[in-house]
Amino acid sequence: MSENTEVQTHEQRGQPKSRIGTVLSAKMTKTVVVQVERRARHGKYGKIQTEKKKYKCHDEHQSAKPGDKVRIVETRPMSKEKRWRVAEILVKGEAAEGAQQS
Please give the CATH number for the structural domain made up of 16-95: 2.40.50.140
pLDDT of residue 16: 92
35-85 pLDDT, tens digit each: 999 999 999 999 999 999 999 999 999 999 999 999 999 999 999 999 999
**How much is the pTM?**
0.78
Q: Residue 13: which pLDDT band, with cuts at 50, 70 and 90?
A: confident
- What residue ranges do the domains of the chain occupy? 16-95
The three-state DSSP-derived secondary structure of the chain is CCCCCCCCCHHHHCCCCEEEEEEEEEEECCEEEEEEEEEEECCCCCCEEEEEEEEEEECCCCCCCCCCEEEEEECCCCCCCCCEEEEEEEECCHHHHHHHHC
Name which of 7-11, 59-63, 87-91 the model is least confident about. 7-11
